[in-house]
Amino acid sequence: MRIKFPALLLSAYLSLFPLASLSSNPELNLPDLGTSAGGIMTPKAEQELGKAFMRNVRRQEAVLEDPLVDDYLQELAGLLLRHGDAARREFHFFAIDNPDINAFAGPGGHIGIYTGLILTTETESELAAVLAHEIAHVTQQHLLRAWETAGNLSVPTAAVLIASIALGVVAGGDAGIAAASAGQAALIQNQINFTRTNEQEADRIGIDILGKADLDVNAMPAFFARMDKANRVYASELPEFLRTHPVTTNRIADALNRASTYAYRAPRDDLRYQLLKVRLMLRDERLPQVTIDEQKRLLEEGRYRNRQAAQYHLAMLQARAERFSEADRLLAELVEQRPGIPEFVIAKADSEHRLGEGTKALKRLQDALAARPGSRALNLAYAQQAMRLQKMGPAREQLESYLKYARDDPDLHAQLARLAGETGDKIAAHIHQAENHYLRGRLDEAILQLEIAGREKGLSFYDASRLESRLEEMRKEERDAKKRE
């Protein structure tokens, strides 16, 4: 059974971009909170809540698992953060696999953006405007008042509630969570009076971030204008908060006025943004798909926004149809033109492997990693290709080196679990598998894996102590979860 929470509760925990939602669940997109005087939650406690929040988001299987999408979002967000007031704050950006138009900021600087919103944007600067708006809500501490309510709950309970509200449902119907959330509703009502002020401040700071990052500052009012038009078209289907806090003409005018203080800048090369949209369109079976012949015709007639992105689209269609030689020829041209683009490098390496040139593919990925050592997509692609060639040692060494930068990446732990098993290290295999399960919100399976690891022979006293300490942390979390049932 799935329990829907009242739309009002979302404003307590999530800072939402106030779009005219075209969602099947439009009541989920609530406005932001005002700032409370003083610090409600310590940075360490907020980070703990943020990590628990993400475990529950992953447990709902809502996060899009595409390393190239992750890479691009981190790259664009990194550009914005370098030009915003984000000093000493951690941010984590991820895509939600959902066609709705929505974005949110959760605890610990975790910012989620729905694939439906990404595909609705028309330029990279429009997507950047959404991210900049959400970054501003975090840096201006518009969520602090929410912790007054969340502070009355345990971290696991608060995390489940926040994640469930973000995604619209609570899988399994947790009565304890439902009761806790109902008890907070009256307090939350008093907090949404600050919405207009917060939205105006986030708009202003977001535009400033765009300007400093040499992106199109007019993208924010342009996006607002399209959302305002959608408001009018879909007004009868929108929730009450969009009727009382709409994307108004005044708000658009304010954004235009702010943008006018910046000089015109030529658009940034947005190839990776165009490739992002290609990947999302290809993977979404709900969207109409072009055929190989249709895509060729579009290229011949010059009907595309970016030629290289259109060629990549064609190559991906050819690879999907197992026409690897054709795809490889086109990808070779793209890699020659733009050798530093991870999407091209990874696709070319894959086609080379499928054409019997696996060693060449591995070398290509190794060279690309030397230029982009922090790329999640390239690290995972290199390890996958090394495993294809039965080079388990080099694959494991590479991922263990990358792990120190991404300890909360469940895919990374899953790959390391497999590699440890393949190289005969059963203890490490169980430990990495435990972390994989834990980060995906599967606490009982994580505990089981650590218990199995603890029974393996050859465990040193130091490692046994660390393992027991980690196991006790998980067992305590399990006990806390059972108390609220």
- Tell me how far CA of residue 162 lies from CA of 48, 134, 135, 484, in angstroms: 13, 17, 18, 15
Q: Over 90: is that where the pLDDT of 344 sits?
A: yes
Q: Over 50: is that where the pLDDT of 148 sits?
A: yes
What's the confidence (pLDDT) of residue 483?
73
pLDDT tier at 127 (50, 70, 90 boundaries)? very high
Q: What is the rounded average pLDDT of the residues 348-376?
A: 97
- How far apart are the C-alpha atoms of 183 and 149, rounded to whole Å? 10
Which three-class secondary structure state does DSSP give residue 305?
A: coil
Cβ 305 vs Cβ 267: under 8 Å = no
* 235-266 pLDDT, tens digit each: 555 433 233 335 778 888 999 999 999 988 87
Lowest mean pLDDT among 187-201, 233-247, 390-404: 233-247
Q: Over 70: is that where the pLDDT of 75 sits?
A: yes
Q: What is the rounded average pLDDT of the residues 48-56?
A: 90
Q: What is the rounded average pLDDT of the residues 55-67?
A: 90
Q: What is the rounded average pLDDT of the residues 3-13?
A: 32
What is the token pair recorded at 130?
């959404």
What is the token pair recorded at 198?
């917060």
* 151-169 pLDDT, tens digit each: 566 777 777 777 766 665 4
Q: What is the rounded average pLDDT of the residues 182-210?
A: 65
Q: What is the rounded average pLDDT of the residues 421-441?
A: 96
User: In sequence order, which ranges of 143-218 are alpha helices (DSSP H)?
Assistant: 144-150, 155-167, 175-189, 195-212
pLDDT tier at 228 (50, 70, 90 boundaries)? confident
Question: What percentage of the chain exceeds 90 in pLDDT?
Answer: 59
What's the confidence (pLDDT) of residue 407?
93
Q: What is the rounded average pLDDT of the residues 448-458?
A: 95
Concatenate the DSSP letters of all residues of 116-143 into one string.
Answer: HHHHH--SHHHHHHHHHHHHHHHHTTTT
- How far apart are the C-alpha atoms of 118 and 168, rounded to whole Å? 19
Measuring CA to CA, which residue among 321, 301, 313, 302 is closest to residue 347? 313
The phi and psi torsions of 483 (rounded to 5 degrees) equal -65, -30
Measuring CA to CA, which residue among 122, 143, 152 is closest to residue 33? 143
Q: Over 60: is that where the pLDDT of 320 sits?
A: yes
Q: Over 90: is that where the pLDDT of 76 sits?
A: yes
Which three-class secondary structure state does DSSP give residue 92?
A: strand
What's the confidence (pLDDT) of residue 216?
95
Measuring CA to CA, which residue among 70, 59, 34, 242 is closest to residue 162? 59
Four-CA torsion 405, 409, 415, 418, nearest 10 degrees: 110
User: In sequence order, which ranges of 357-460 are alpha helices (DSSP H)?
Assistant: 358-371, 376-388, 392-403, 410-422, 426-439, 443-454
Q: In what order do the strands lie in the sheet with 92-96?
A: 15-16, 103-105, 110-114, 92-96
Q: Output DSSP code: residue 63.
A: B
Q: Over 90: is that where the pLDDT of 315 sits?
A: yes
What's the confidence (pLDDT) of residue 309?
98
Q: What is the rounded average pLDDT of the residues 296-302?
A: 97
Question: What percentage of the chain exceeds 70 in pLDDT?
Answer: 79
What's the confidence (pLDDT) of residue 205?
94
Concatenate the DSSP letters of all residues of 25-53 into one string.
Answer: SGGG---PPPPPSS-SS-HHHHHHHHHHH
Q: What is the rounded average pLDDT of the residues 298-304?
A: 96
Pairing verdict, β 110-114 and 103-105: antiparallel
Measuring CA to CA, which residue among 299, 200, 186, 313 is closest to residue 248? 200
Query: Which residues make beta-bridge pairs with 170?
Result: 3
Query: What is the reported pTM?
Result: 0.85
Pairing verdict, β 2-3 and 170-171: antiparallel
Q: How many residues does the chain have?
A: 485
Cα 262 → chain centroid: 30
Lowest mean pLDDT among 92-106, 146-160, 168-182: 168-182
Q: What residues contact residue 253 under an 8 Å CB cut-off, 6+ apart?
A: none
Cβ 138 vs Cβ 89: under 8 Å = yes
- Tell me how far CA of residue 189 lies from CA of 1, 2, 186, 246, in angstroms: 27, 24, 5, 18
Lowest mean pLDDT among 31-40, 315-324, 339-348, 398-407: 31-40
Q: Over 80: is that where the pLDDT of 476 sits?
A: yes
**395 vs 179, more confident:** 395
263-269 contacts at long range (C-beta below 8 A, 24 or more positions apart): 265/214, 265/215, 265/216, 267/123, 267/124, 267/125, 267/216, 268/124, 268/125, 268/214, 268/215
pLDDT tier at 299 (50, 70, 90 boundaries)? very high
Query: Which residues make beta-bridge pairs with 96?
Result: 63, 114
What's the confidence (pLDDT) of residue 3?
30
What's the confidence (pLDDT) of residue 87?
64
What's the confidence (pLDDT) of residue 264?
85
